[in-house]
């Protein structure tokens, strides 16, 4: 029996070993299977494999990674954007997870003089980024998407989100 199976086992719950885990949960959250996901793929998305290779080298400024942080007890969430070279991180308060609201907030953050800060953005496949074409058109940038279930392809923002939550 592996360590986590023992910690989450009902017979060991009296020992309260879960308090030594990072998230201190009494029960393991069930994982969703691929068939349990509700939404289809994002239309007209450009995959990360088509992203220029210069972005991976982190030599030029203006290439960002984006994600959404959800909170348990409120509908409010954060859009987080992190620049790959400088590791600069921006957090934008977002009142809902709807794609239109998310797109509006990103466009408002970078409109005007700040447009020059952006060249590309890489998102995951969350439905909140479904209006990526409107963002790309308004800010004149290229937007790329990770492969499904491969958020490790934008590890800079995932690590930043983990630090922000902690």
Domain with 97 in it: what CATH number? Answer: 3.30.420.10
pLDDT of residue 150: 86
Q: What is the pLDDT of residue 144?
A: 95
Q: Are residues 25 and 61 in the same domain?
A: no
Q: Quick check: is 39 in a domain?
A: no
What is the reported pLDDT for 14?
67
The CA angle 68-73-78, to the nearest 5 degrees, is: 20
Residue 66 and residue 130 in one domain: yes
Separation in Å, CA 148 to CA 24, 134, 161: 29, 21, 19
The residues pairing with 91 across neighbouring beta strands, listed in sequence order, are 80
18 and 62 belong to one structural domain: no
Phi-psi region of 130 (alpha: psi -120 to 50; beta: other; left: phi over 0): alpha
Q: Note down the domain range covering 122.
A: 48-165
128 shares its domain with 96: yes
What pLDDT shows up at residue 81?
A: 94
Whether residues 24 and 62 share a domain: the answer is: no
Whether residue 12 is found in the same domain as residue 74: no
- Per-residue model confidence (pLDDT) at position 90: 93
Confirm whether 84 is domain-assigned. yes
131, part of any domain = yes
Is 69 a domain residue?
yes
Give the pLDDT confidence score for residue 33 in this predicted structure: 57
Q: What is the pLDDT of residue 143?
A: 95
Q: Write down the pTM of the prediction.
A: 0.73
d(CA 121, CA 133): 12
- At which residue do the structure tokens 């960002």 appear? 64
Asked if residue 43 belongs to a domain, the reply is no
From first to last of its 166 residues, the chain has per-residue pLDDT tens of 577 777 777 666 667 776 777 666 666 666 665 555 555 678 888 999 999 999 989 999 999 999 999 888 777 899 999 999 999 999 999 998 899 999 999 999 988 877 778 899 999 988 999 999 999 999 999 999 998 888 888 888 888 988 888 8
CB 130 within 8 A of CB 99: yes
């Amino acid at each position: 029996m592996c360590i986590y199976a023992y910690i989450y086992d009902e017979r060991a719950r009296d020992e309260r070993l879960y308090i030594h885990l990072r998230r201190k949960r009494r029960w393991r959250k069930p994982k969703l299977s691929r068939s349990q996901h509700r939404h289809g793929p994002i239309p007209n998305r450009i995959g990360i494999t088509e992203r220029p290779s210069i972005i991976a080298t982190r030599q030029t400024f203006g290439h960002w990674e984006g994600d959404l942080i959800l909170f348990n007890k409120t509908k409010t969430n954060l859009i987080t954007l992190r620049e790959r070279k400088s590791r600069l991180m921006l957090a934008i308060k977002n009142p809902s997870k709807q794609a239109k609201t998310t797109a509006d907030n990103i466009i408002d953050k970078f409109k005007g003089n700040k447009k020059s800060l952006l060249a590309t953005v890489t998102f995951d496949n969350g439905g909140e980024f479904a209006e990526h074409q409107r963002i790309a058109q308004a800010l004149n940038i290229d937007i790329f998407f990770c492969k499904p279930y491969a958020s490790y392809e934008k590890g800079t923002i995932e690590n930043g989100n983990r630090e922000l939550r902690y």
